[in-house]
């Protein structure tokens, strides 16, 4: 079997690569190889049975057509025309420039609209009110970034990506589902193809099949970050050590967050407070949302959050993340993050752990009966009450608590003792794969896009990186 192009992974970066190739009238024979299932077959049993059963061979939340996008909240971060920088979504603009990135966002946003996204944009209506919150935050030494957002909603994201899946398949893109790329075939510093096996055999030693291609694009997302790091090391693909973001999912009443939710939908706060001055930020805010869990390699259970367009809770959840960079002699951010996650998972008998903020201040764990009496009811029912502080490092924990205290000056009630912290929330980025302006690695015709290689962080930018990749391949 020989293709013009193989794309590894079918997350938003890959989906938009396929879409743009079709739009450009490409004659390339294209194969997308995806570890998980078709989007319409992706079902997480947690809603029915109330707990994560660590589905084998892969987790439907993180794998399958549209990758992490399918169960995401579907917040598409746009930009302010007057901004002279791109503040969210990673580093795409560093490769192609700010103006080009803005035009790419316009184009990609239009495709999302064509496939059924809500025309409403959040965060543009209440300029005066946002300015007041911005000023209040400044006084607390906290920066507020307000970016317009298009909110798809989890159930609508699913439907939208199903339409895109049909569009790709109807237009001749081949997709091989439930198949895992295990290795690359590289000869004389040039990519020749990939080695695969059925995902059902993931834990078995089986002979790998080979598929050949002129070009290979790695679009493996955060799910594939660990694999990507290993494959780069093994094959001499140049990387630079990246960082890992470690923190918690924070859940509090909508009532406390009502102004932020109404005026911005998502408030992106960033600060370097307290002893360590580490960068701490809020991320992925979900008004009236639900805390969720997802399973990564080696059964690591991480927390996340999302919200639906129609089904609503009375809580808002958001991530509070601390960036961790290491230097010498230890410089393995992924390993560090995995160790934190494994320790915390063990404390929760394999599950996400939840703790009341007030209990952390009192230096004690949270017990089940205390959680039952708590005014903030957890939306992730499978989370086990316990003690997060046993597993998150002193530095990380101090950073998070300082940040919560700081934000309480901006949002009254942000540090209420009944608010809940869930852990571990970890954003793994592989070591940053070194690519040129054409997204090509040091291996000829081997490219890397999306979140996996560390270029993007989020749906919109991952999607844009796919569009740009298609244009590069067709130029």
Binding region for ligand FAD (CB under 6 A): 8-14, 33-36, 63-64, 67-69, 71-75, 77, 180-181, 219-224, 227, 284, 292, 294, 304, 306, 450-452, 458-460, 462
CB closer to ligand FAD out of 211 and 360: 211
Closer residue to ligand FAD, CB minimum distance, 38 or 272: 38
Name the minimum Å distance from CB 228 to ligand FAD: 8
Least distance between ligand FAD and beta carbon 373 (Å):
29
State the nearest-atom distance from the C-beta of 9 to ligand FAD, in Å.
3
Q: How far is the CB of 449 from ligand FAD (least distance, A)?
A: 7
Least CB distance to ligand FAD at residue 195 (A): 10
Q: Which residue is nearest to ligand FAD (CB)?
A: 221
| Residue number, 204 or 373, with CB nearest to ligand FAD | 204
- Beta carbon of residue 128, minimum distance to ligand FAD (angstroms, whole number): 26
Nearer to ligand FAD, 216 or 273 (CB): 216
User: Of the two residues 324 and 457, which places its CB atom closer to ligand FAD in the complex?
Assistant: 457
Q: Are 457 and 75 in contact (CB under 8 A)?
A: no
Closer to ligand FAD at the Cβ: 397 or 421?
A: 421
Q: Which is nearer to ligand FAD, 220 or 344 (CB)?
A: 220
Nearest distance in Å: CB 196, ligand FAD: 8
């Amino acid at each position: 079997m020989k293709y013009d192009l193989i794309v590894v992974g079918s997350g938003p970066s890959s989906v938009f690569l396929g879409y743009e190739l079709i739009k450009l009238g490409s004659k390339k024979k294209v194969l997308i190889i995806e570890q998980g299932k078709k989007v319409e077959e992706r079902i997480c049993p947690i809603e029915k049975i109330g707990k994560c059963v660590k589905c084998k061979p892969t987790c439907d939340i993180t794998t399958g057509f549209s990758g992490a996008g399918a169960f995401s909240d579907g917040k598409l971060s746009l930009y302010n025309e007057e901004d002279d920088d791109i503040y969210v979504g990673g580093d795409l603009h560093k490769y192609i420039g700010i103006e080009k990135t803005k035009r790419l966002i316009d184009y990609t946003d239009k495709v999302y609209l064509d496939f059924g996204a809500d025309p409403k944009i959040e965060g543009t209506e209440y300029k005066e009110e946002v300015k007041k919150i911005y000023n209040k935050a400044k006084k607390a030494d906290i920066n507020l970034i307000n970016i317009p957002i298009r909110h798809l909603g989890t159930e609508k994201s699913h439907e939208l990506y199903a339409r895109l899946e049909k569009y790709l398949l109807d237009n001749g893109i081949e997709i091989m589902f439930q198949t895992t790329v295990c290795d690359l075939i590289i000869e004389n510093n040039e990519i020749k193809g990939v080695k695969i096996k059925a995902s059902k055999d993931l834990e078995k030693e089986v002979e790998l099949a080979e598929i050949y291609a002129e070009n290979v694009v790695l679009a493996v997302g955060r799910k594939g970050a660990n694999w990507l790091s290993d494959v780069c090391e093994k094959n001499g693909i140049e990387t630079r050590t990246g960082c890992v973001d470690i923190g918690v999912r924070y859940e509090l009443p909508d009532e406390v967050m009502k102004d932020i939710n109404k005026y911005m939908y998502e408030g992106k706060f960033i600060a370097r407070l307290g002893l360590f001055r580490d960068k701490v930020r809020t991320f992925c805010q979900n008004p009236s949302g639900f805390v969720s869990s997802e399973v990564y390699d080696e059964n690591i259970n991480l927390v996340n959050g999302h919200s639906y367009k129609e089904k609503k809770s009375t809580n808002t959840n958001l991530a509070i993340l601390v960036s961790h960079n290491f230097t010498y002699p230890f410089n393995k951010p992924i390993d560090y993050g995995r160790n934190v996650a494994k320790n915390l998972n063990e404390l929760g008998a394999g599950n996400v752990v939840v703790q009341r903020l007030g209990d952390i201040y009192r230096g004690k764990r949270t017990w089940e009966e205390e959680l039952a009496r708590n005014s903030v009811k957890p939306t992730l029912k499978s989370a086990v009450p316990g003690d997060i502080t046993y597993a998150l490092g002193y530095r990380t924990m101090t950073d998070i608590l300082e940040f919560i205290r700081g934000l309480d000056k901006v949002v009254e009630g942000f540090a209420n003792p009944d608010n809940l912290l869930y852990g571990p929330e970890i954003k793994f980025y592989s070591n940053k794969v070194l690519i040129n302006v054409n997204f090509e690695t040091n291996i000829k015709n081997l490219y890397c896009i999306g979140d996996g290689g560390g270029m993007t962080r989020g749906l919109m930018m991952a999607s844009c990186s796919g569009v740009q990749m298609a244009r590069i391949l067709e130029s």
